[in-house]
């Protein structure tokens, strides 16, 4: 990565404003998964050890520019404090006199978490005045919020034009792992793309066609491709207005060195429910009243073989409607294959990560990305605005 990181700058005694991604899942009473808080600990601890006064900024949920009590960051500060083993100061605002007093009151090695930046509509507008108000709280800016780096918001992008700005360790690691998979993958390099919408995945498929050796397509995404191949897909979820685009991608794949694999058999049911009969069909036999809800066993076998012999694997998107048991076999089999692949394995996307966790295989994955949208955009070859704005090395 050609960007400066916290290792390149002196931080002792400085107020270091760190944008983290503490957008954790909540269930009304508490935090259901603290992965994102844990992921920020290396940067926070490195800064504390170096004598910085650490001021953290984050968003949580989608308050859309107003104060939403349920989206205050205080419970997150509490969990962070447990994980750090030290108290974490809080503020009920992220700009203005209270926030400034909290930041100014920190001693070297101490940590504060300010209030949800998305309580201000100016955050998502990337309002320069709001970015300057945030910048008042620090001497230096660190972006460690990989999960928000694809957004050009005031706390992820605007502020980097006001303060000296460098990358945190999590951001650095995400870019290093994803970047080397794209730039110098150990081959064979297999990419698995599933999920629902082709429109979400077109760019990543297009970009990976020039990088990967095998592209394995499943999920609702595959349905649109099957349609483009001329198959009947019954009432399957797909995007009719993206069929022509899928056909174009198939043509491009034909001219590339990358092999694009589509399901050869599928699991079909009349409804997306667990109490209905389901049946395996060859792709050219899908009944007109059926819905394709998973890849079939023959396809699973092909895909698992490709993953097992790969030295680099990227996975984004489940291969079927895995939340419903009868349609989870494809996703479970691929999760196991990725988990057991001895090569470099990278998993991105909330639902794919959930599938890996359900299988108890997270520990066996080289890199579980903390940013779904950000990792997809990066793998599509796009420069992330939150990264672009950081100081060059
Ligand atoms: P990720 O969060 O890993 O990026 P997506 O959000 O793109 O993945 O897609 C996940 C969703 O796709 C899951 O809810 C899953 O049920 C759904 N899905 C996958 N295959 C199908 C299918 N054949 N029909 C309907 N929904 C599907
Ligand atoms: Mg998802």
Residue 7 pLDDT exceeds 80:
yes
Residue 173 pLDDT exceeds 80:
yes
Residues 22, 138 within the same domain: yes
**Largest separation between any pair of C-alpha atoms in the chain:** 69
Cis peptide before 188 (omega within 30 of 0): yes
Q: What percent of the chain has pLDDT over 90?
A: 96
Q: Which of 3, 14, 36, 242 is the catalytic position?
A: 36
Question: What total of structural domains would you count in the chain?
Answer: 2
Closest protein CA for atom 18 of ligand 1: 321
Is 373 catalytic? The answer is: yes
Q: Report the pLDDT averaged over residues 107-130.
A: 98
Integer Cα distance of 172 and 4 in angstroms:
9
Residues 225, 370 within the same domain: yes
What is the DSSP annotation of 328-358? -HHHHHHHHHHHH-SSEEEEESHHHHHHHHH
Residues 283, 345 within the same domain: yes
Q: Report the pLDDT averaged over residues 366-389.
A: 95
CA 120 to ligand 1 center in whole angstroms: 32
Last residue of a domain, one of 173, 194, 209: 173
Last residue of a domain, one of 150, 173, 196: 173
Is 350 catalytic? The answer is: yes
Q: Which residue intervals of 105-242 are DSSP H helices?
A: 121-125, 128-135, 169-183, 198-208, 219-228
CA 350 to ligand 2 center in whole angstroms: 5
Report the pocket of ligand 1 as residue ranges, CB < 6 Å.
194-196, 200, 219-220, 237, 292-293, 316-318, 320-323, 349-352, 372
The model carries a pTM of 0.92
Asked, for residue 28, whether it belongs to a domain, the answer is yes
Cα angle 70, 35, 216; round to 5: 115
Asked, for residue 388, whether it belongs to a domain, the answer is no
Q: Report the pLDDT averaged over residues 304-315.
A: 98
Which pLDDT band, with edges at 50, 70 and 90, does 68 fall under?
Answer: very high
Residues 132, 202 within the same domain: no
**Nearest of 111, 115, 127, 136 to residue 69 by alpha carbon:** 115
Residues 124, 164 within the same domain: yes
Asked, for residue 393, whether it belongs to a domain, the answer is no
Smallest-distance ligand from the CA of 354: 1
Residues 165, 192 within the same domain: no
| Euclidean distance between the first and the last CA atom of the chain, given in angstroms as a whole number | 9
Residue 14 pLDDT exceeds 80:
yes
Is 36 catalytic? The answer is: yes
User: Would you state the pLDDT for residue 211?
Assistant: 96
The two three-digit tokens of residue 112, written as one number: 């504060």
Is 211 catalytic? The answer is: no
Instruction: From the CA of 353, give the closest atom in ligand 1.
Output: 3
pLDDT in tens, 199-249: 889 999 999 999 999 999 999 999 999 999 999 999 999 999 999 999 999
Residues 129, 159 within the same domain: yes
Q: Which of 38, 79, 132, 197 is the catalytic position?
A: 197
Residue 323 pLDDT exceeds 80:
yes
Instruction: From the CA of 197, give the closest atom in ligand 1.
Output: 7
CA 356 to ligand 1 center in whole angstroms: 14
CATH number of domain containing 52: 3.40.50.1260
CA 316 to ligand 1 center in whole angstroms: 10
Q: Report the pLDDT averaged over residues 180-202.
A: 94
Asked, for residue 390, whether it belongs to a domain, the answer is no
Task: State the residue range of the domain holding 192.
Answer: 185-379
CA 54 to ligand 2 center in whole angstroms: 32
Asked, for residue 386, whether it belongs to a domain, the answer is no
Smallest-distance ligand from the CA of 201: 1
């Amino acid at each position: 990565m050609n960007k400066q990181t916290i290792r390149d700058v002196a931080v002792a005694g400085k107020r270091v404003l760190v944008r983290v991604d503490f957008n954790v899942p909540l269930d009304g009473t508490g935090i259901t998964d603290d992965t994102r808080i844990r992921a920020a600990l290396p940067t926070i601890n490195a800064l504390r050890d170096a004598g910085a006064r650490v001021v953290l900024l984050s968003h949580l949920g989608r308050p859309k520019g107003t104060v939403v009590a349920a989206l205050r960051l205080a419970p997150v500060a509490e969990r962070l404090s447990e994980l750090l083993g030290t108290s974490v100061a809080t503020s009920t605002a992220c700009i203005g006199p209270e926030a400034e007093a909290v930041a100014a009151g920190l001693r070297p090695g101490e940590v504060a978490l300010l209030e949800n930046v998305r309580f201000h509509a100016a955050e998502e507008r990337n309002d320069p005045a709001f970015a300057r108000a945030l910048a008042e709280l620090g001497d230096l800016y660190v972006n460690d919020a990989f999960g928000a780096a694809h957004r050009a918001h005031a706390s992820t992008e605007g502020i980097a034009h006001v303060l000296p700005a460098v990358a945190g360790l999590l951001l650095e690691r995400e870019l290093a792992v994803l970047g080397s998979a794209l730039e110098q993958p150990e081959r064979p390099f297999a990419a698995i793309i599933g999920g629902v919408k082709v429109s979400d995945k077109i760019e990543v498929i297009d970009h990976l066609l020039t990088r990967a050796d095998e592209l394995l397509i499943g999920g609702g995404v595959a349905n649109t491709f099957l349609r483009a191949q001329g198959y009947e897909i019954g009432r399957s979820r797909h995007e009719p207005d993206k069929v022509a685009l899928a056909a174009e991608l198939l043509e491009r794949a034909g001219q590339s060195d990358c092999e694009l694999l589509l399901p050869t058999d599928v699991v079909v049911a009349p409804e997306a429910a667990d109490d209905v009969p389901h049946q395996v069909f060859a792709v050219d036999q899908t009944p007109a009243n059926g819905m394709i809800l998973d890849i079939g066993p023959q396809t699973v076998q092909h895909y698992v073989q490709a993953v097992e012999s790969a030295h680099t694997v990227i996975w984004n998107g489940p291969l079927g409607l895995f939340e419903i048991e009868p349609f989870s076999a494809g996703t479970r089999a691929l999760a196991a294959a990725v988990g057991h692949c001895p090569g470099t394995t990278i998993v991105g996307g909330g639902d794919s990560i959930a599938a890996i966790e359900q299988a108890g295989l997270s520990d066996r994955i080289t890199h579980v990305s903390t940013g779904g949208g950000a990792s997809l955009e990066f793998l599509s070859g796009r420069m992330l605005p939150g990264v672009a704005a950081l100081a060059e090395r």
